[in-house]
Amino acid sequence: METIRHSLAHILAAAVQELYPGTKFGIGPAIENGFYYDFEFSEIKIVNPKSKILNPKQIQNSKFQIPKLEDLPRIEKKMKELIKNNIKFKKKIVSKKEAEKIFKNQPYKLELIKELPGKKATIYQSGNFIDLCRGPHVESTLQLHSGQAKEIIDSFKLTKIAGAYWKGDENNPMLTRIYGLGFLTKEELNEYISRQKEAEKRDHRVLGQKLELFMFNEEIGAGLPLWMPKGVILRKVIENYLYQELTEQGYQWIISPHIGKLDLWKSSGHWELYREDMYSPIDIEGEKYELKPMNCPFHVKIYQTKIHSYKELPLKYAEFGTVYRYERSGVLHGLTRVRGFTQDDAHIFCAPEQVSQELTKLLEYGLKNLKAFGFKNFNIYLATRPEKYAGAEKGWQKATSSLKYVLEKSKLKYQLDPGGGVFYGPKIDVKVKDSLGREWQCITIQFDFNLPERFDINYIDQKGRKQRVIMIHRALIGSFERFIGVLLEHYGGALPLWLSPEQIWLVPVGSRHKKYAKEIGKRLCANSLRVKVKDENETVSKKIREGETQKIPYLLVVGDKEEKNKSVRVRTKGGDIGEVKLDKFIKDVLSKLNSRN
């Protein structure tokens, strides 16, 4: 398929060459699900097609014959014509000198030729279009409308146009990139397009704004989310749930500051091995402080306030700790890739003989926890030693084996992620698969034999001897930010009842029903339900539309009949389910809430 996609990129370039003479060509690879080609379109009415390289501003200001979205069907049509002409893809190896001659009007190709190792260059000719390319390609476009790929003519599609800096470097000129999708069958193409549309509808950045959950602001800074009132409710529901569950499991809670001396991060090894993820220091009275990228050293310092006996182990410290890690502004993405986020962090200090039991419990509960949020499918990874690491080879081997042992004992399928561990130890990562089949990292269970060594943390064993303690880092949801982003995409914003910031809207039919609506509202609130009485002077249908847009689980309409019968008319996302006695409604909703649906 990659070969076909790559050949489609060449055909796109060939079509552009015919329709837009004088165009300069960048590169055109196959990508996931399709292909693209980068072009520099030349000025209209070219007399001498000798082009100069323009910077983005100049491009904006000059009259270029750059195609627009509405021109793509014309290019697509030309591509289909070319395909039907059964054009051959002829490979030829030429000297660099020859290549330079062939591409004498193509400055980008000339640049690429210069960078080629050796003295030769491979070129592909297909019809009038020649490209500098290593291939491989289909033999002829005949292959694209016969045999296995016979549907290609209907199963590729040009989709968008975007600016792209030559070689991805913002100091280079901006070229015009045309993207295409390419699949073997029309069915696959359509399926992909509709999945994309669904994903766009579920984009948590769009939903977050529409549902007023969170926001970003350029004046505050990229990647620094602000939680709005409804978002805080959602976040607190999750926080309270985890707090209660983990407290019952014997976790103890900690709150640590957001900055700490740079020297602490030197002692911990972060400055040496994790500096790329850290921000520049703050100076306080001549000493340097760092925004915390992790909570670990603080938890270690609390562990160190006492001598711990084996009887106290495992000792589990948990914190909803907000950490700050450097991400390039280009890779930031809504809540799922941010610069400041709150981890559901914990550190488990235990004796070596407790390790496998603790790991097993962690994995088991972690998966159960994700299921409580509605995720059913997971991929599990065992990530091993990365290039930069702390600690001895032997420790890594031993820790990796314990993780492996636990996965196998628990009969969990897993994949290896070679080199994917953190600098301080190997880890197990669990990624959930959302309703569109996309993977998201949630659980992480990480060994740490760096900090116990560096901070010399111990416990006293049964025989009164000092022993090095084992430290396990773990997160169950990862961070509130990413997890809520994932939840929104998984549910397309229609969160389950227990997670919905607003659970019930009461819609009085007329002004005279407002009193009854408010009475019901009070009763529902007294049952700890999150309720809003919609008493604005607007039509019932407008309120219902708004409630549906806002993904409110229950819209209760009350008029004369409902008031008389002490009932409500219930609408859910499943539709109108008619009149229900208020008492029964409350009972049903509370039972649904208790089962976290």
Q: Decide whether 421 or 485 has the Cβ nearer to its own copies.
A: 485
Q: Is 165 in the site for its own copies (CB under 8 A)?
A: no
CA dihedral 567, 571, 575, 578 (to 10 degrees): 10
Beta bridge partners of 534: none
Distance CA 562, CA 541 (A): 17
Q: Which residue from 565, 566, 588, 563 is spatially nearest to 577, judged by alpha carbons?
A: 588
* 226 lies in the site for its own copies, by CB under 8 A: yes
Tokens of 315: 């000792």
Max CA-CA distance within the chain?
Answer: 93
User: Which one is catalytic: 230, 292, 296, 299?
Assistant: 296
User: Smallest distance from the beta carbon of 135 to its own copies, in angstroms?
Assistant: 39
Which is nearer to its own copies, 225 or 452 (by Cβ)? 225
Which of 5, 6, 292, 427 is flagged as catalytic?
Answer: 427
Instruction: Pick from 91, 261, 433, 523 the residue near its own copies by CB under 8 A.
Output: 261
170 binds its own copies (CB under 8 A): no
Give the burial string for 423-448 (b: 16+ CB within 10 Å, else e).
bbbbbbbbbbebeeeeebbbbbbbbb
By CB under 8 A, tell whether 259 contacts its own copies: yes
Helix (H, G, I), strand (E, B) or coil at 121: strand
Determine which residue in the list 115, 117, 200, 305 makes contact with its own copies, applying CB under 8 A.
Answer: 305
Q: Would you count residue 308 as binding its own copies (CB under 8 A)?
A: no
Q: Which is nearer to its own copies, 341 or 585 (CB)?
A: 341
Q: What letter would DSSP give residue 173?
A: P
Burial class of 190 by CB neighbour count within 10 A (0 to 12, 13 to 18, 19+) = middle
Q: Which of 17, 106, 143, 343 is catalytic?
A: 343
Q: Could you tell me the smallest distance in angstroms from the CB atom of residue 490 to its own copies?
A: 22
**Structure tokens, 257:** 């500051």
283 binds its own copies (CB under 8 A): yes
Here's the x/- map for its own copies, 116-155, by CB under 8 A: it reads as ----------------------------------------
Closer to its own copies by Cβ: residue 97 or 328: 328
Identify whether 325 is a catalytic site residue.
yes
Question: At closest approach, how far in Å is the CB of 220 from its own copies?
Answer: 5
Half-sphere exposure at residue 251, Cβ-oriented, CA atoms within 13 angstroms: 23
Q: Look up 347 and say whether it is catalytic.
A: yes
Question: What's the CA gap between 452 and 269, in Å, rounded?
Answer: 11
Question: Quick one: which of 57, 63, 168, 255 contacts its own copies (CB under 8 A)?
Answer: 255
Contact assessment for residue 121 and residue 94, using Cβ atoms and an 8 Å cutoff: yes
CB nearer to its own copies: pick between 288 and 438? 288
User: Could you count the other beta carbons within 10 Å of the beta carbon of residue 334?
Assistant: 22
Only segment of 41-49, 252-260, 362-370, 484-492 that touches its own copies (CB under 8 A): 252-260
260 binds its own copies (CB under 8 A): yes
- The SS3 assignment for 215 reads strand
Residues 350-379 that bind its own copies (CB under 8 A): none
225 binds its own copies (CB under 8 A): yes
Note whether 66 and 176 are within 8 A (CB). yes
Which of 113, 254, 335, 359 lies at the binding interface for its own copies (CB under 8 A)?
Answer: 254
Question: Catalytic: which of 345, 429, 434, 448?
Answer: 345
Q: Which stretch binds its own copies (CB under 8 A): 13-21, 46-54, 133-141, 227-235?
A: 227-235
Locate 42 and state its tokens: 């030349």
Determine the interface stretch with its own copies among 102-110, 218-226, 457-465, 485-493 (rule: CB under 8 A): 218-226
By three-state DSSP, how is residue 17 classified?
helix
Pick the stretch among 51-59, 174-182, 276-284, 369-377 that binds its own copies (CB under 8 A): 276-284
Neighbours of 298 (CB within 10 A): 21
Q: DSSP letter for 538, please.
A: S
Query: What contacts 120, CB < 8 A, 6 or more positions away?
Result: 93, 94, 95, 96
Find how far residue 122's CA is from the centre of its chain: 38
Q: Does 465 bind its own copies (CB under 8 A)?
A: no
CA distances from 348 to 243, 316, 365 (A): 16, 4, 14
Q: How many other C-beta atoms can be found within 10 angstroms of the C-beta atom of residue 380? A: 18
CB of residue 235 vs its own copies: minimum separation in angstroms? 7
Q: b/e for 20-55, b at 16 or more Cβ within 10 A? A: bebbbbbbbebeebbbbbbbbbbeeeeeeeebeebe
If the CB atoms of residues 37 and 289 are measured against its own copies, the closer one turns out to be 289
Known catalytic residue: 195? no
Q: Does 227 bind its own copies (CB under 8 A)?
A: yes
Under rule CB under 8 A, which residues in 311-350 are in contact with its own copies? 317, 322, 324, 326, 328-329, 339-340
How far is residue 492's CA from residue 573's CA, in Å, rounded to a whole number? Answer: 12
d(CA 28, CA 56): 20
Residues with a catalytic annotation lie at: 296, 325, 343, 345, 347, 427, 473
Q: Which residues in this chain contact its own copies in the complex, by CB under 8 A?
A: 212, 215, 217, 219-221, 224-229, 231-233, 235-236, 252-261, 263-264, 267, 279-285, 287, 289, 291, 297-298, 301-302, 305, 317, 322, 324, 326, 328-329, 339-340
